[in-house]
Amino acid sequence: MMKRDIVTLLGGFLTSLFLFLGTIGVSFDWFTPKSIDAFIMLSSAAGALFINLYAVWKNTYVSKKARKQKEVLKQKGLK
């Protein structure tokens, strides 16, 4: 839930910045509401990817410490 809140805040900030810059007459060809939406979508997807990669890393026996733990579990008949 927190990830969604951060992305929402980021989108709100960028939209406010876009409107502020437009008010003072500063514009960039690449800084449009469409590009803001695309950036927010990318940020959300990147956050989801990071969370999933972390979950896979923590829940599999990939690291040295995890492989040792797996061996101990096998020795105790728990794996």
What is the DSSP-derived secondary structure letter of residue 30?
S
Q: What is the pLDDT of residues 9-63, one digit of tens each?
A: 899 999 999 999 999 999 899 999 999 999 999 998 998 899 999 888 888 877 7
- d(C-alpha 11, C-alpha 41), whole Å: 9
Tell the residue number behind the tokens 């599999």, with chain if given.
Answer: 60
- d(C-alpha 54, C-alpha 67), whole Å: 17
| Residue 69: strand, helix, or coil | helix
The pLDDT-based confidence of 78 (bands split at 50, 70, 90) is confident
Q: What would the two tokens of residue 43 be?
A: 């940020």
The whole model's pTM is what?
A: 0.65
The pLDDT-based confidence of 1 (bands split at 50, 70, 90) is low
Query: For the purposes of burial, counting CB atoms within 10 Å of the CB of 43, is it exposed (0-12), middle (13-18) or buried (19 or more)?
Result: middle
The domain segmentation of the chain, as residue ranges, is 2-75
